[in-house]
Structure 1
Amino acid sequence: MKTDDLPSGRPAEDLRAALRALADPDRADQQRAYLHSDLVHLGVRVPDLRRCVTETRRRLGARPGSEVLALAQDLWSAQEGHTKPVYDYRRAAVEVLMQYARALDASDLEVVEALLRQCRTWALVDPLAVHCTGVIALRNPAAGTALDRWIADPDFWLRRSALLALLPGIRAGRPDTARLIAYADALVGEREFFLRKALGWVLRETSTRDPQLVMDWLDCHGSRVALLTRKEALRRLTSGEDRSRR
């Protein structure tokens, strides 16, 4: 299925045109520097980008997963005369997958994984991991097979994605506790900043509903837990701060 087959002309082309109209060269330079990015940046503000995608979704209405993936892949790969991909088009592709996440299922994670491997920045990885992959995983237990493979992948962005995909379940009060503990155990010795930070983030979210699980895990691993991870995990557990220094 190509985006030519979708209604309302060519949605990917229309969306790219809308984003180009919102380009801000000064913001683009700031964004590129902030993200340490080597992509082309237009400098579109995230709220404006999200609004453009929302308008596209409203025009298209409900679409099957195959068409959603086709639209996202079109946006992701477009260069339009540039020598490198365009960050804003890729961020729009992520937003499409987020807004249409309920149209996707576990089998679509093969495409999502391919995109995650090309993200190379938290600004694309995190929303795709949490608000697309995580939504799929919460609805479809079969997604756990992919997550279990990702947590052991050499690419640390895939490992981060597997962990962050547990957040929707945690926030919905339906945590996958077994995977949470297994993934946390697998990552406790990591030296990569983005993994230490993500682990603390997920533990912090867990602490709002199950503080004892978090404290027990921290006590179990003791000094193996990175200071950054421990600090993040305890951010909402002020009563646990003194205990963590034992």
Structure 2
Amino acid sequence: MEEADDTASGSPAESLRAALNALADPVRADQQRAYLHSELHHLGLRVPDLRHCVTQTRRALGPRPGYDVLALARDLWSAQESHAEPVYDYRRAAVEILVQYAGALDAAGLKDVEALLRQCRTWALVDPLAVHCVGAVALRDPAAGKVLDRWITDPDFWLRRSALLALLPAIRTGRPDNQRLTRYADTLVDEREFFLRKALGWVLRETSLRDPQLVLDWLDRHGSRVAALTRREALRRLT
């Protein structure tokens, strides 16, 4: 795949969309749409190919300030071209842009990221954005904690899932915020939503690799209130 050429193909977003369209696979698109129960238009790109296109764009652009990164992501996110519905692959590319440029963002930029999260409506977009963008920002900027604290009680369950998953990078790098984790887990223990029960189990499982006692104590404290799915996921790595 060739690198994006701004001068030949227009804006960076236009160049990237052209690169994505060149790799469209209608058969895979139908499969992906069915798998994700998606109402978006799908081009059918493989994630490694999409990620490669975004990487080439980033290399061509070089370092960019946060406002440029957010503007590029918004441009990709909203583009529909000739399609009646928004294009999933453009939105997935916007997520990847934010992931690859996460170092240019701070807590203030999460306002724009939040707007995208509210429109994701699928784990396939929410999870990489929450973990690898929001989580990366939270590792560097303590002010992000207040944003996550607001998300964890938001009526939109995808925002609540995002707040929880954004704790994963700190857990994985040995810098967990156990107080916040415990508070979030307490908040979500009675959730009925599958995607929140699953996410809570996932985060507890990651925590158990480094602090199994914290997980065991939390499960014991809440007893039968913990959903079977959450408990099963939390204990997956423990004997």
| TM-score normalised per structure 2 | 0.96
Please give the secondary structure, in 2, of the residue aligned with 1:168: helix
Match of 1:212 in 2: 213
Q: What is the Cα deviation at residue 10 of structure 1?
A: 1.0
Please give the secondary structure, in 2, of the residue aligned with 1:145: helix
Match of 1:110 in 2: 111
Residue 20 of structure 2 corresponds to residue 19 of structure 1: yes
In 2, Cα distance between equivalents of 1:168 and 1:183: 16
Residue 175 of structure 2 corresponds to residue 182 of structure 1: no
In 2, Cα distance between equivalents of 1:60 and 1:208: 39
Match of 1:243 in 2: none
Q: What is the Cα deviation at residue 82 of structure 1?
A: 1.2
In 2, Cα distance between equivalents of 1:178 and 1:124: 27
- Give the conservation status (yes or no) of the 8 Å contact 2:153–2:160: yes
Please give the secondary structure, in 2, of the residue aligned with 1:97: helix
In 1, Cα distance between equivalents of 2:114 and 2:57: 24
5+ residue gaps, structure 1, are 1-5, 239-246
- Give the conservation status (yes or no) of the 8 Å contact 2:98–2:133: yes
Give percent identity, aligned residues only: 80
Residue 107 of structure 2 corresponds to residue 85 of structure 1: no
In 2, Cα distance between equivalents of 1:28 and 1:7: 27
In 1, Cα distance between equivalents of 2:144 and 2:197: 24
Match of 1:55 in 2: 56
5+ residue gaps, structure 2, are none
Deviant stretches of 4+, over 4 Å:
6-9
- Give the conservation status (yes or no) of the 8 Å contact 2:6–2:15: no
- Per-residue displacement from partner, 1:35-54 (whole Å, max 9, x unpaired)? 00000000011000000000
- Give the conservation status (yes or no) of the 8 Å contact 2:51–2:96: yes
Counterpart amino acid of 1:75?
L
Q: How does 1:1-246 map to 2 (within 5 A)?
A: 9-238=10-239
Provide the aligned C-alpha RMSD in A: 1.0
Q: What is the Cα deviation at residue 81 of structure 1?
A: 1.6
